[in-house]
Structure formats: C-alpha cells, structure tokens
Amino acid sequence: MTENTSQTPLVELRDISLAFGGIKAVDQASVSLFPGEVVAILGHNGAGKSTLIKVLSGAYSKDSGDIFVKGEHATINNPRDAKSYGIETIYQTLAVADNVDAAANLYLGREILTRWGTLDDVAMESEARKVMGRLNPNFERFKEPVAKLSGGQRQSVAIARAILFNAQILIMDEPTAALGPQETEQVGELIQALKRDGIGIFLISHDIHDVFDLADRVMVMKNGQTVGTARTEDVTKDEVLGMIILGKCPAGAEPGPGALPS
C-alpha cells in the first residue's frame, strides 16, 4: 500500500468485475479513497472508468468483487443504497433545476417547512448561504434562477446539495469537461474546500491534464483492469501517460493486474 495505512479508507473497491454481454467492461479493478483525499481515475475512453464508478454509485450491480465503506462490507444495489453510505455523484450534465434559485435547488424534494406546513424560504436561504459560503465564498446570486449562473457556479450548487445531505464520498465524472478555464479553476477551489472538510473525491477523467494537479493519487485503468495506483508526488505526468497509453507501470506506482509484465 502506498497510502497512509494508519487510517481506514472511506471506501474501498476490491477486485470489481462487470461484463456487458461478452465485454469485460471492468475486470478485477481495485481502488481506495481516504478522508480528505482526491483520487483521479484515469484511462482512455472505454477503459471502464464510468462503469467502475457506477458500481459504487449503485447505477450498476457488479458481477463480483467487494465494496467496503469505512472498513465495513457494503451492499450497494441501487442509488438509494449508495446515498445511505454517504456516496453522491455529481453528474456532468449538472442535475440542477434551471428555473429556481440556488436555495430551492439545495432543498429540491427535501424542502424545509414552517410549522404551518408552508415552505420556509428564510430557513432554506439561510442554510444555503452557510453551505455555499464554505464552498464558494464569493457566491452572492442566491435569488437568481440557476439558469443564469455560470457552469462553475452551477457545479458548486450541485455539490452544495450533495454536502448538505451528508455526502462524504463524492464522485465527479469528467467534472471540467463542459467548463472554460476560469470555471475549471473554480472547480479546483471547490475541491480544495471539500478536502478541508474531510470529504473524499473520485475524479474521473480521460485527460490527465484536467486532474493531475488536483489529485493526491491516481489510479489508471486499461481494458477494464487496474494498471496501477500512484501518489502524484511519486510519478511524473509522462509516467502516468505511459500507464494510460501503454499499460506500463513506473517504479513509483503500485502495479495492478492490468500492468504490462516488466
């Protein structure tokens, strides 16, 4: 193990496999995530990243393998199960309601009511300001429909919504794919704020440049398998590219079943 073994991982995926018909989309892949850690899951399109992570989010049921949450064996058969373990996914197609404001988005489907049973807008806005203040202190546009916000601001609303409901493990699949450079930077700041709160984040990407500087560790997949896992401080970007493209595991990484024999 390359990571700090004195701590229990927030989550561990061990030897996960899932085939679609004859295609082994995920083939004995493993990865762990510690509190306050960002782990990038990297690999070419079709490497199996989204499928692996959908096993964790409950969108797919695995064929084999084990999931542990805080050291305990976890049963995840649907998204509701995943949420009960504090696992939330921030989708690329940002799941926000465009026609209402940030506070309403945070409480969509889980509104705070007054004792008369009406919507408690004051309480919801006040809570929204607290959570958003932690994530994105410059955010002031609480009264505007989310449609008017930038991509980065919309993402902070989606993340705030997850945090508000006790997410401890966040999955972000290609988080910066639809964003410009300035918004990408904002997402980076958001991720730093989440880390400080002890939240663990899986960042899924096909582009190492998007995530290398944000990640504490990388896990590279190829043909559904784990090529290897490394701390970003122990490897170079070029070495990680070699893992992605060739399946070659450098000295600073721990090889998985998908590594080329050396």
Ligand X SMILES: Nc1ncnc2c1ncn2[C@@H]1O[C@H](COP(=O)(O)OP(=O)(O)O)[C@@H](O)[C@H]1O
Query: Which positions touch ligand X (CB under 6 A)?
Result: 20, 23, 25, 43, 45-51
Separation of alpha carbons 94 and 206, rounded Å:
19
| 43 binds, options ligand X, Mg ion, none, Cβ within 5 to 8 A by partner type | ligand X
- Of the two residues 21 and 109, which places its CB atom closer to ligand X in the complex? 21
Taking CB within 5 to 8 Å according to partner kind, which of ligand X, Mg ion, none is near residue 51? ligand X
Return the HEC string of 40-76: EEECCCCCCHHHHHHHHHCCCCCCEEEEEECCEECCC
* Residue 51 contacts Mg ion per CB under 5 A: no
Smallest distance, ligand X to C-beta of residue 23, A:
5
Contact (Cβ atoms closer than 8 angstroms) between residue 140 and residue 103: no
Report, in Å, the least distance between residue 114 CB and ligand X.
44
Residues 6+ apart with CB under 8 A from 171: 53, 56, 57, 87, 88, 89, 90, 201, 202, 204
Contact partner at residue 9 from Mg ion, ligand X, none, CB < 5 to 8 Å by partner kind: none
> How near is the Cβ of 165 to ligand X at its closest, in Å?
26
Q: Which listed option, ligand X, Mg ion, none, makes contact with residue 5 (CB within 5 to 8 Å by class)?
A: none
CA distance 51 to 25: 7
Q: Which of Mg ion, ligand X, none is residue 194 near (CB under 5 to 8 Å by kind)?
A: none
Instruction: Tell me the C-alpha distance between 48 and 18, whole Å.
Output: 9
Residues ≥6 apart with Cβ < 8 Å to 151: 94, 178, 179, 180, 183
Binding partner of residue 65 among Mg ion, ligand X, none, CB cut-off 5 to 8 Å per kind:
none
What's the min distance (Å) between Cβ of 3 and Mg ion? 24
Helix 151-164 to helix 181-196 angle (10° resolution) is 20
Q: Which stretch binds Mg ion (CB under 5 A): 33-41, 47-55, 91-99, 149-157?
A: 47-55
- Report, in Å, the least distance between residue 21 CB and ligand X: 7
89 lies in the site for Mg ion, by CB under 5 A: no
Closest distance of CB 49 from Mg ion, Å? 5
CA distance 76 to 223: 24
Residue 8 to residues 38, 43, 133, 168: CA-CA distances in angstroms?
15, 26, 30, 14
Q: Does 50 bind Mg ion (CB under 5 A)?
A: yes
Closest residue to Mg ion: CB criterion: 50
If binding means CB under 5 A, how many residues of this protein chain bind Mg ion?
Answer: 1
Q: How far is the CB of 16 from ligand X (least distance, A)?
A: 12
State how far the Cα of 69 lies from the Cα of 49, in Å rounded to an integer. 19
User: Which C-beta is closer to Mg ion: that of 50 or that of 156?
Assistant: 50
Q: Please, which residue, 135 or 172, has the CB nearer to ligand X?
A: 172
- Report how far residue 70's alpha carbon sits from residue 167's, in angstroms, rounded to the nearest whole number: 14
DSSP 231: E
Rule CB under 5 A: say whether 176 interacts with Mg ion: no
Q: What are the residues binding Mg ion (CB under 5 A)?
A: 50
